Amino acid sequence: MRSIWLIFAQTVTVLVAAVFVVATFRPQWLQQWSPRQILPEPTVAVAPAPSGSAPSGGLVSFREAARQASPAVVSIVTSSTAASNPHMRDPWFRYFFGDRQAQPQSGVGSGVIVSPEGYILTNNHVIDRMDDIEVILTDGRKASAKVIGTDPDTDLAVLKVELPRVPAIVFGNSDLVEVGDAVLAIGNPFGVGQTVTSGIVSALGRNQLGINTFENFIQTDAAINPGNSGGALVDAQGNLIGINTAIYSRSGGNMGIGFAIPVSTARQVMDSLIREGAVTRGWIGVEPRDLTREMAETFNLPMSEGVLITGVLHNGPAATGGIRPGDVVVQVGDQPVANTAQLLNAVASLKPGDSARVRIQRGGDEREVTVVVGTRPRQAVQLPREDVEEE
């Protein structure tokens, strides 16, 4: 038994020595006999390309959307002549205040060509109080624009240029837009030239920002800066879904919170301005205020949502219909009303001269009154709050 163990040990020693010699002087002999190690190939996750975008090297590209929409987005250069101060003729005024001359104003914004006839959508604050409006297309053509109409309540305006073969953008459906959808913002920020930025829809139905009378903004994190006003917010197919209007900013530049007017609103305003030169909205003559839980407890109301009427115009539509201060409006027609923005939009959508059913809460009683809708007076656009800037 001992002799067998010695033979085994010597054999193993000789084999180990042989392997060592071969591994040292002829390693390739061992490689051809070694088993091949098969490793799984790494998996690369590629985000699916949205419809209308072109994948490039495994990355999502919005080149087709930008190529389709960009030609219809124009730069708008405005200027106003200096208005002379009527007091400058008074020598005492010049004595105390000096010989001051008003300085001419100028500005740069954006616009979107919405029809082959040369109609352009932009913001009212881009062209407000401006005498000369020049439109510059991406192909280098320039033309003076005529103001077809303005609507300060939504901060929209329609211009028209007389040029042949102008490119028109395709309208999308802003009612189908959802949070998380990819969008592009196209405009002329800071006057550097047409720029395309990308992002997503961050929120929908933003209101009570103090920018416009009627607010229903699309919020996006696509970079929007001063000069983008009136430019296009488009979807991944290059279809227009909004008109870029304002930014939330502490510094004056982009902070990732921009607001665009939905194209559904812009198109209604545009059609009215082109057809009638003005936008006609319903009006009932009340002073509304959001109902809070504290107010509901104070007035012993059985609800915590609605619009408290704090004032009623004497002999106005609401007063004639029986609405009184202290009433809470909870429904206009078939539309429930939970806040002031919803009340304004519901009433504005009514046709002047029509009768509308308004459901109110008066103390512990719920009742329904009929109001003959009036025509909303034309108002100047509201000034933005300090932390919300119109670009």
- Which residues participate in catalysis according to the annotation? 125, 155, 229
Q: Taking a C-beta distance cutoff of 8 angstroms, is the pair 123, 107 a contact?
A: no
Three-state DSSP at 221 gives coil
- Between the alpha carbon of residue 165 and those of residues 76, 137, 145, 146, the distances in Å are 19, 11, 16, 18
DSSP run (H or E) holding 64:
helix 63-69
Closest-CA residue to 280 (of 334, 347, 333, 339): 347
CA dihedral 90, 93, 94, 97 (to 10 degrees): -160
Tell me what percent of the chain is helix, strand and coil, each rounded to the nearest 5: 25, 30, 45
Rounded distance, CA 26 to CA 279, Å?
A: 92
Rounded distance, CA 246 to CA 244, Å?
A: 6
Question: Hey, what are 166's tokens?
Answer: 């102008």
Three-state DSSP at 304 gives coil
